[in-house]
Chains A and B, each alone.
Chain A
């Protein structure tokens, strides 16, 4: 039994190593000849490795990129990773074989994608990451939603609706995450230091609906006079909404992410607003940045894309 297990493990390990070797050597053998063929044409070719086409967010992102490429007369080659890291790495390797001018990567996994980024670096093809960043390799630019601006939009909207004054509550995401930090930062930029505006409680609820409810219940015990709640995501906002309804209060709730549940709550008038990302704009910006890189222009290492506020239709 034991021996059999060991043999099985050893042979599968060996098989894995063989697979690893073969892809590596293929890549190095083929690269030069293919490159010569492609250099002849002037048309800019951009490769886009998308994490999945199974999520409307990324489909819209891809559509935005395709439109931008068409407008600029560039060719866009899209490879779909189907949320599989291994598939994404081989997809990027395929793009390297095709000698595209720039590779746009929307990683399925920030850590695992480093291998693919390094492979592109080795072939001297510039890489731009989209929506999720890469944790290794050389990346020319990263394009994603501007969470700081989103937080500011939420804060501004709350102040505008309340007529510039009121007591506010902030429900924070998991401490230390970039989303929590950036969304909170933007919110405070909008509301801090304004006359008549006071953030009476800033408490963590870890992006979780149940915690959003509990924390809001506790805050309501201590503060009767609250006009608005800003939650770093919709889950916490919907949890807070349950606490507010149970307490029989009328408090304005603004969330973040525009999930289906939240958009529904906004349209029913239960939530005031939620901040939505604009995937099409992210795709467009990615292609435009790729074209700039190809022309040799200098681009920022992080290019934030605006968000939009979803309110009742």
Chain B
């Protein structure tokens, strides 16, 4: 009897969390639609094919980082080092290309470097038992410092023309950054939704102790998750390097905040276990569309930050009130 009651409770709870999750999902989508419709009405330049491509291309940089951040936050962690990984891996790739390495090799080395830096975060957190906030705060500083050492604080230029295709090129008239974002999104969506690893990520975030007791190697899951975050930050960095035709020592500063904002706007819970990657894409779009709209409307620099912060607050409040 007791047992049955417990089961019913659990089922009811599960149902509740599902409906909660759906509401949360609606919240961010509603926010995006409201901003979208408003901007279309106010500015005649907003809803055009060329501007939509433009916005998506700009969003791709933040979205890629935010995808990785979604995995990290789902496990109940946080990764503050993404901006520094972004800078260091793109500086490494650019430095190699500037000294004559084939762009393909340089890109691969850059991506691998990102994954290795991410794995280092994961090892510190999983094996060293350092809190994610502290571990990645420390590596954020270390990686940024290494970037300054490597670049001597100067931009790296003189990159080969073939490298430009990576971030500046088009595939079927679609800008390459958008293509990379969509490919990454598709792969990560499948991993999160349909793989054992994806289920482990959710399980780890909901209840780490129980996950460990059920025989899952939680350390390995953590190291993997931070590696994914590092890899995506590196990919994002190399795309931007290609678009700018140069690597900057100061690139990616405070990008972690935009990425975290996108994840949270998308309805993923900072305490882990709950969320989805589609929401992150929506969150990144809200931030990107807002930036674009403020530029199009020529809003004064003093008001821009107030508007941006305000919209984020409203979106999150909408989420919270709906999820009650």
- Known: A175-B301, A208-B250, A261-B157. Is A221-B244 also a contact (CB below 8 A)? no
- Asked if B168 and A210 make an inter-chain contact with CB atoms under 8 angstroms apart, the answer reads no
- Asked if B301 and A221 make an inter-chain contact with CB atoms under 8 angstroms apart, the answer reads no
Task: Pick from A59-67, A126-134, A198-206 the stretch touching chain B.
Answer: A198-206
Residues in A with CB closer than 8 Å to B240 are 210
- Asked if A210 and B244 make an inter-chain contact with CB atoms under 8 angstroms apart, the answer reads yes
User: What separation, in Å, do the CA atoms of A208 and B48 have in the docked complex?
Assistant: 27
- Known: A202-B298, A203-B295, A203-B298. Is A221-B51 also a contact (CB below 8 A)? yes
- Asked if A201 and B246 make an inter-chain contact with CB atoms under 8 angstroms apart, the answer reads no
User: What separation, in Å, do the CA atoms of A172 and B301 have in the docked complex?
Assistant: 8
User: Interface extent on B, as a size class?
Assistant: 20 to 34
- Known: A242-B245, A261-B157. Is A221-B251 also a contact (CB below 8 A)? no
- Asked if B304 and A204 make an inter-chain contact with CB atoms under 8 angstroms apart, the answer reads yes
Decide yes or no whether B20 CB sits under 8 A from chain A.
Answer: no
Residues in B with CB closer than 8 Å to A260 are 154
Shortest distance between the CB of A230 and any CB in chain B (Å): 15
- Asked if B246 and A214 make an inter-chain contact with CB atoms under 8 angstroms apart, the answer reads no
Residues in A with CB closer than 8 Å to B304 are 204
Residues in B with CB closer than 8 Å to A201 are 295, 298
B57, B244, B291, B298: the one within 8 Å of A242 (CB): B244
Residues 255 to 295 of chain B near chain A (Cβ within 8 Å): 291-292, 295
Decide yes or no whether B209 CB sits under 8 A from chain A.
Answer: no
Decide yes or no whether A215 CB sits under 8 A from chain B.
Answer: yes
Decide yes or no whether A218 CB sits under 8 A from chain B.
Answer: yes
- Asked if B58 and A175 make an inter-chain contact with CB atoms under 8 angstroms apart, the answer reads no
Residues in B with CB closer than 8 Å to A217 are 54, 57-58
Decide yes or no whether B302 CB sits under 8 A from chain A.
Answer: yes
User: Interface extent on A, as a size class?
Assistant: 20 to 34
Decide yes or no whether B99 CB sits under 8 A from chain A.
Answer: no
Query: Chain B residue with minimal CB distance to A224?
Result: B45
- Asked if B48 and A221 make an inter-chain contact with CB atoms under 8 angstroms apart, the answer reads yes
Decide yes or no whether B296 CB sits under 8 A from chain A.
Answer: yes
Shortest distance between the CB of B154 and any CB in chain A (Å): 8
Greatest chain A CB density within 10 A among B43, B243, B295, B304 is at B295
Decide yes or no whether A283 CB sits under 8 A from chain B.
Answer: no
User: What separation, in Å, do the CA atoms of A261 and B158 have in the docked complex?
Assistant: 10
Query: Chain B residue with minimal CB distance to A222?
Result: B45
Cβ proximity bits B216-248 to A, threshold 8 Å, 1 near / 0 not:
000000000000000000000000100111101
Residues in B with CB closer than 8 Å to A246 are 168, 243
Residues in B with CB closer than 8 Å to A209 are 155, 244, 246, 248
Decide yes or no whether B50 CB sits under 8 A from chain A.
Answer: yes
Query: Chain B residue with minimal CB distance to A215?
Result: B295
Residues in A with CB closer than 8 Å to B300 are 202
Query: Chain A residue with minimal CB distance to B154?
Result: A260
User: What separation, in Å, do the CA atoms of A222 and B43 have in the docked complex?
Assistant: 9
Shortest distance between the CB of A306 and any CB in chain B (Å): 27
Residues in A with CB closer than 8 Å to B54 are 217-218, 221
Binding site for A on B (CB under 8 A): 43, 45, 48, 50-51, 54, 57-58, 61, 154-155, 157, 168, 240, 243-246, 248, 250-251, 291-292, 295-296, 298, 300-302, 304-305
Binding site for B on A (CB under 8 A): 172, 175, 200-204, 208-210, 213-215, 217-219, 221-222, 235, 238-239, 242, 246, 260-261
Known: A203-B301, A221-B51. 11 other contacts (CB 8 A): A175-B305, A208-B250, A209-B244, A209-B246, A209-B248, A210-B251, A213-B243, A214-B58, A218-B292, A221-B50, A261-B246
13 CB contacts below 8 A, A to B, read: A202-B298, A203-B295, A208-B250, A209-B244, A209-B248, A210-B61, A210-B240, A210-B248, A214-B58, A214-B291, A217-B57, A222-B43, A246-B168
